[in-house]
A = this chain, B = another copy of it.
Amino acid sequence: MATLHGAADNRLLAALPNSDRRRILADCETVELTLAQVLCAPWVPRNCIYFPTSSSISLTMPTDDSAAFEVGLIGNEGMLGIALVLDAELSPERAVVQGAGSALRMDAAPLRRELRRSKALRGAVDRYVHIRMSQLAQAAICAHFHLLESRLARRLLMSQDRAHANTFNVTQEVLALKLGVRRVGVTKAASSLQRRRLIRYSRGDITVLDRSGLMVASCGCYQADRESYERIRCQ
């Protein structure tokens, strides 16, 4: 059983009324997620969900050349396993741990029970689904229209948010995969950002030096995502 402290660290759960949250927590187990751990493969049935607390999870879709284009990044603001909430077990997405840390795991059966019992949970999760849909649409626009450097800046900000620290670890190789570009492209864009003193990095260790500068360098999608998040969550 998870501690209350653990629950407060997932904002989706933290927003629930105390009684509901306590009950839900009793059904959760705290687990440690390790970097690059695969939590979910495409079309493989899953029967549990995760609420990240200090970890973060990258959602990808397979492309023609069996690469992995990123379609979502989940931190303590959300959850992994929307399919189960939508009463399905299958999903085309792959989920890989991108930031090691802990998460709360909940099995399908208690989840379904709680979704029926707790109107607050159902509402919070439904709104999160809606947020994810907005993010997906924004991701499509961003990948299609925006320059790599802006996309990289945005992606780094997203990583920073989920890491709850201004330093984290992702190699350019990995970033390239997730952004759907060549590694050299990331190298150039990252060099540019480093030259402008917005970030510093070496062998995958990335430090955000100037967060607001990075926001200027990023495309509007970062802000758009945050605004959608607030608008949908707080309506």
| Selected interface stretch from A50-58, A80-88, A100-108 | A80-88
Q: Which of B88, B92, B132, B220 contacts A126 (CB 8 A)?
A: B88
From residue A160, how far is it (CB to closest CB) to chain B in Å?
A: 22
The answer for the CA separation of A141 and B136 in the assembled complex, in Å, is 11
Query: Does A123 make an interface contact (CB < 8 A)?
Result: yes
**Given that A61-B138, A92-B228, A130-B82 are known contacts, is A144 also in contact with B87, CB under 8 Å in the complex?**
no
Cβ-defined contact, B87 with A140, below 8 A:
no
- Are A87 and B123 interface neighbours, CB within 8 A? yes
Contact of A136 among B82, B133, B145 (CB under 8 A): B133
Query: Within the assembled complex, what's the spacing in Å between the Cα atoms of A44 and B64?
Result: 37
Measured CA separation A219–B136 after assembly (Å): 20
Which chain B residue lies CB-closest to A138? Answer: B61
The oligomer's copy count stands at 2
Kindly provide the distance from the CB of A96 to the nearest chain B CB, expressed in whole angstroms: 15
Task: Give CA–CA (A136, B231) in the complex, Å.
Answer: 20
Q: How many residues on the A side are at the interface (Cβ–Cβ under 8 A)?
A: 43
Given A82-B130, A83-B130, A231-B43, is A137 in contact with B93 using a C-beta cutoff of 8 Å?
A: yes
Q: Is the interface of A mostly helix, strand, loop or mixed?
A: helix
Q: Which residue of B lies closest to A129 (CB)?
A: B86
- Spell out A's residues near B (CB within 8 Å): 43, 61, 63-64, 69, 71, 82-83, 85-93, 122-123, 126-127, 129-130, 132-134, 136-141, 143-145, 180, 219-220, 224, 228, 231-232, 235
Contact B69–A140 (Cβ < 8 Å): yes
Q: Which residues of B contact A228 (CB under 8 A)?
A: 92
Q: Could you say which residues of chain B place their CB within 8 Å of the CB of A224? A: 92
Interface centre among A126, A130, A137, A138 (most CB of B within 10 A): A137
How distant is the Cα of A219 from the Cα of B138 in the complex, in angstroms?
21
Q: How far is the CB of A178 from the nearest CB of chain B, in Å? A: 12
A145 → chain B closest CB, angstroms: 6
Q: Are A126 and B87 in contact, CB atoms less than 8 angstroms apart?
A: yes
User: In the bound complex, what is the Cα–Cα distance between A137 and B68 (angstroms)?
Assistant: 12
A228 to B88, CA, bound (A): 12
List 30 A-B residue pairs with CB atoms under 8 Å apart, sorted by A's residue number: A43-B231, A61-B140, A61-B141, A63-B145, A64-B220, A69-B140, A69-B141, A69-B144, A71-B140, A82-B133, A85-B126, A86-B127, A88-B232, A88-B235, A89-B235, A90-B231, A90-B232, A91-B134, A92-B134, A92-B224, A92-B228, A93-B137, A129-B133, A133-B136, A136-B140, A137-B139, A140-B140, A140-B143, A140-B144, A143-B143
